[in-house]
Structure 1
């Protein structure tokens, strides 16, 4: 379901070699235990010309409900990943690059981070898939592909990304052929993505957050080519950065903590690896941003702020 969130139960049963009712029961069990949350359809930040950035560092102070509420209220922070040693990774989507200063000032007041580094996302892979999306100037806004009907379709799928065509049609007032055609176009153009709602720490596997630095971008690319040929290396997400071309972020999934540490030791021995910063992922939170709120726009054109030339993202990256 991570590779193809809208896969049918019938296709799942064929892939798994089990009955369709058994697939139903197992998915219901995953939802009951909290391992699998709601699957939401969302606009990709790149679709609207937003610049994505990863902020990471050591959290200072108490990580409680008040801290999460502060992150949720900021408006540009889409996700927070917390490690067991209070290492934090914040995914942000900025209307324009210069907004990073505003975000960093907000964090200094409401969610202080020691030694924060901002990495500007150039490319990122979708979870458990090999398709890459581009961020920032290389992406460019794709709002020309989106109409009011498309926003209604995405809004209908917010609470259930696996909602059937007939139910989406009933929600939106569109015909089933129109929904089917427009949804296929949205998926084909990578305008939308799916938040799988998977709670870290609830399942049997273990997730590590890794930042790997290399001697050169060529060493980084060689590492990624080798990684794609290793079926046992289950990476949920990979991000590359325009202001740190020698650096990779990885979300690594393994069976046990010991397996993870053994895998990290292997990575340290790879050609050109300078350092590996890692932490076991304890919690992950997803927040609504200005991109999500665009889906609530009723009809008409979606108007975004003009993107500022230049910006100060690069100044936040450690040399």
Structure 2
């Protein structure tokens, strides 16, 4: 569906604070609460936009692994769908002509990726190879969302919408149902969360604010980049000279085309995801922006053919 400026402004506002009250959003955008509510419900009901409550893996004692599975063409689709059904995977995508699957998997820090996933893959000899790359440090992605999808509001409007929280205690066992409910819908009301968790509404409100304050919980937007006019995605595997690794990661993180940057283990040491308007824009980005970074010694590009799962849905 085509988006107008108000739709894009609403998306940007929710990028800043996914739980911002609609009366506050309306005041910042200079429109009515009824209009903002109606626009959000339309985007939500048509599957364009969803606010999801996500958790920071490191703060929960988890590590994220980026997996690459090379398959025969007739196997990639069912394997990708099987991975998408797992609760511990996100961003399951078919790349490289549809014969490779890329996905992010979470595991307890003490577990090797083999113990987490490999023995649970569909039993098929058509998976040619599997490699796992630990995300050592992320610069864009996770709590630091993709800036390129949200560029409508002014600095003053962003400041008005940016929430502040007091840090609270770490995650507790009774937070599990609360976090699960927010993962399904980050804008679930406090009254609904109270019913789901058995807590009182004031307790739920306080706990959500504490979890956001200590960085365990953050709000993300689950949206198809094509809706925003971005039709070309590629995963970039880069080898960077170690002395320049952090500087290159930080430089890429400032580029609006980049939706993910992470230092990883493996044969390459830097992972990025580029999101561009079209193939021509991707070509320009690779040949002008990326190619100008002298510390990059090797680059492998895997175009994204299809996204099977975004965020955690």
Cα RMSD after superposing both structures: 3.4
Query: Following TM superposition, by how much is the alpha carbon of 1:257 offset from its aligned partner in structure 2, in angstroms?
Result: 2.8
Distance 1:73 1:17, change over 3 A: closer
**In the alignment, is residue 259 of structure 1 matched against residue 272 of structure 2?**
no
Among residues 134, 139, 143, which one is paired with 1:120 in the alignment?
134
TM-score, with length taken from structure 2: 0.71
**Residue aligning to 1:188:** 213
**Residue aligning to 1:67:** 79
Please give the alpha-carbon distance, in whole angstroms, between the structure 1 residues aligned to 2:175 and 2:59. 13
Q: Which runs of 5+ in 1 are unaligned?
A: 132-143, 290-319
Distance 1:128 1:99, change over 3 A: closer
**Mapping 1:294-305, distance limit 5 Å:** none
**In the alignment, is residue 213 of structure 1 matched against residue 238 of structure 2?**
yes
Aligned residues: 273
Greater percentage in helix: 2
Please give the alpha-carbon distance, in whole angstroms, between the structure 2 residues aligned to 1:112 and 1:202. 34
CA contact (8 A) 1:34 1:202 kept: no
Please give the alpha-carbon distance, in whole angstroms, between the structure 2 residues aligned to 1:58 and 1:255. 27
**Residue aligning to 1:314:** none
**In the alignment, is residue 91 of structure 1 matched against residue 115 of structure 2?**
no
**Residue aligning to 1:285:** 309
Among residues 268, 275, 291, which one is paired with 1:268 in the alignment?
291
1:269-317: CA deviation from partner (whole Å, max 9, x where unpaired): 311122142313521315979xxxxxxxxxxxxxxxxxxxxxxxxxxxx
CA contact (8 A) 1:200 1:281 kept: no
1:58-107: CA deviation from partner (whole Å, max 9, x where unpaired): 43232576434432466654441223622321211223433426633544
**Mapping 1:1-319, distance limit 5 Å:** 1-36=14-49, 38-62=50-74, 66-72=78-84, 76-83=88-95, 85-86=97-98, 87-95=100-108, 96-100=110-114, 103-107=117-121, 109-110=123-124, 112-125=126-139, 127=141, 130=144, 145-194=170-219, 196-199=221-224, 201-230=226-255, 233-243=256-266, 247-266=269-288, 267-273=290-296, 274-285=298-309
TM-score, with length taken from structure 1: 0.70
Please give the alpha-carbon distance, in whole angstroms, between the structure 2 residues aligned to 1:202 and 1:71. 24
CA contact (8 A) 1:235 1:250 kept: yes
Distance 1:115 1:65, change over 3 A: closer
Q: Secondary structure of 1:94's partner?
A: strand
